[in-house]
Amino acid sequence: MSDHRRYRIGIDVGGTFTDFVMAETHGKRLIFHKEASVPANPAEAIAQGIAALLAQEGAAASQIDVITHGTTLGLNAIIQERGCRVALVVSEGNRDVMELARGRLPSSYNFRLGREKALVGRRDVFEVPARLLANGRVLRAADPAALDTLAAQIAAGGYDAVAVMLLNSYADPAPEATLADALVQRLPGVPVTASAALWPEVKEYERALIAVLNAYIHPLMAAYFDRLSQYLADLGVQAALYITSNNGGTMSLATARERPVDTILSGPASGVSAAAAIAVGRIDPARVHLLTFDMGGTSSDVSSIIGGLPEIAQNSKVGDYPLMLPVVSVSAVGAGGGSIGWRDAQGVLKVGPHSAGARPGPVSYGRGGVEPTITDALLAMGVLHPGRFLDGRMPLDKHAAKAALGTVGAGLGLSDSAEIGRAICGVATVRMATEITKLLAQKGLDMRDAQLVAFGGAGPTTALLLAEEAGIGTVIVPTSPGTFCALGALLADVQRDFVRPCRMTLAGDDADAVAIDAIIDTLRTTAEGWLRGEGSLVQAQEFSVSADMRYPGQSFEFRIPVLDAAPETAPETDRAGALAAAFHAEHQRVYGYRQATGGVELVNLRMTATGRLAPVTLPAQDPVDVDAAAPETRQVLLDSWTEVPVLQRALIAQGARLEGPLIVEQPDTTTLVLRGWTAEADDAGTLWLRRGTGQEARA
């Protein structure tokens, strides 16, 4: 056993499999592993997977330095309504904040739809005689007797957690934090979340909702972290444990315990972060933007990487609930491998949104599924090999898949199951291409400048079908697409976002610059204090600042980078003017016009604090000779039935240029290379799929 070797492990927990990537820190090697998930106890699968990795490497638990773990436990608890009982404490007269929400109809076209269910009912909301003015000054504070009464009511109700949201607490979080501390003292063992301490931004409903969501999953996540820590201790693991976050970074276990709401959308974010990492030095971020295409069993998720950085959304949704936190912008655009093909009442072929999921799964899984899915379609077309799915651990029943496809084709005038499968794939592809085109148009981006990064179990299989339909000329397939989110967790640095409201109309004078700099200094002091508490492994610190800006009267803002808008070479007094100019330019780019009069409003200043961990170098691929093994072939239905070469990915040499049609197989996925496309592996083993001569993407 070589004790000098050190390791980092990235983990992504899925519904069917838990994925692992272990990096030898100085040896530049990656080891991949998939372990069957244990939904009732996810920590058990993590312990089993780490033990398997250590056994495979002949390494000791003491050689692990860092474990970074992504989890959807909190997200699933919210969607499935399995959180704890939460009491919400609000200012007197504000008891209906969750019921009123934003007062909007769920749909402008269907008046019969009921409004979304409040996460906390009115009977679970308690008023407290405390009130802040719009500037944050305390108008009235709750006296000890009122707090004693409030705590007694909450204790009598048997609540598991408490959320506190006072009106205008964003202007000064201290009074709300004092109230929360008073409740902690009176309610031992009950976690209390103060809304402004979590996220001090305007909008009382969204701020209350964030606090409630945090409280709703707090006991569940704390219990899970305790179990996970015990499992790791039993293995002898003493490594620092970090949890992936919504913004694509990571945070310490202590921060995750305090702010579990920061983890709920972290799973897809890790894959986007990994895509940004593998593109460094291989594309020109000023000319090319990346689209990530993560196709799993239920849906396909798309995100964009612009200027080399994942796009961050300031507002997203968790189920029916708006989330006012910075998250990597990921949009579900269509079908997954388990999406079901069916005919509507008019006999038109549709795919999804219903999915067979992992249980019972596609018909070919043999677990009781009876409706044909995209996986069944690809199997009937010959794209998937029935004996090599998941490296042969899950044989597929091709005969059952064909029989199920026949039931759909009966009303379509199609009798051949493979033709029906091709039709199902075609419908799903058009749907996804349409959604992607709309998403890019909304961002003011050109599809012709995009390159697609395909991962997930089914992403590389269908990526070129999507690229052909959408007009994309380059597709990038990572080395191990099926564990790509785990790789993203492994590569992520410690990161957290901070915000400070600053409602002001920029006048372009010295006072603007002084006010902006004062808020930035406050944000940096807070961020530096947080980074110091994130563990000794945090090395260099980096800070980026952005501003939320809008024209007066607009209901939405643009996020403008502050440092880019005001380079260090510019005088400080130019900062406000440079920000306004950058906002005008971005508004012009997206909407085609700018507003010459009326000024520009600065709504919020935001800071992203990053603590760099020791870097992990992605390994180079060992040279191999592709000619050493003659490829097999099999019949695949493309435009017509075609004899297609089948290569094992590990045998594709660096720099080898392979012409499609071609199938590339590996343990965690199958890559389909269409006619007119070429495949080439770079020194890291990444496959670059490009259109033939004369049709290359602009890169």
Q: Directed axis angle between helix 575-591 and helix 510-532, to 10°?
A: 90
CA distances from 454 to 357, 481, 485, 543 (A): 20, 7, 12, 30
CA 272 – CA 253 distance, rounded (Å): 22
**pLDDT of res. 500:** 94
3-state secondary structure of 17: strand
CB of 533 within 8 A of CB of 602? no
Position of tokens 């072939």? 633
Give ranges for CATH 3.40.50 in the chain. Answer: 81-211
Strands 289-295 and 450-455 come out as: parallel
DSSP tag of 464: H
Side chain identity at residue 20, one-letter code: F
The CB density around residue 74, as the number of other CB atoms within 10 Å, is 26
Its CATH architecture, for the domain 81-211, is 3-Layer(aba) Sandwich (3.40)
CA distances from 344 to 32, 373, 407, 632 (A): 42, 16, 13, 40
Give ranges for CATH 3.30.420.40 in the chain. Answer: 7-77+223-263
CA dihedral (680, 686, 689, 694) in degrees, to 10, reads -60
CATH of domain 7-77+223-263: 3.30.420.40
CA 192 – CA 194 distance, rounded (Å): 7
DSSP tag of 104: -
CB of 329 within 8 A of CB of 206? no
CB of 169 within 8 A of CB of 90? no
CA 141 – CA 131 distance, rounded (Å): 7
CA 152 – CA 192 distance, rounded (Å): 15
**pLDDT of res. 630:** 57
CA 601 – CA 204 distance, rounded (Å): 20
> Over the chain (699 residues), what is each successive 10-residue block's mean pLDDT?
77 82 82 83 93 92 92 85 94 92 78 80 94 91 94 96 96 95 96 95 93 96 95 94 93 95 87 86 82 83 87 82 88 81 88 78 88 93 89 86 89 86 93 87 80 90 93 91 90 94 79 86 95 90 93 88 54 70 89 86 94 81 55 90 92 84 91 94 88 50
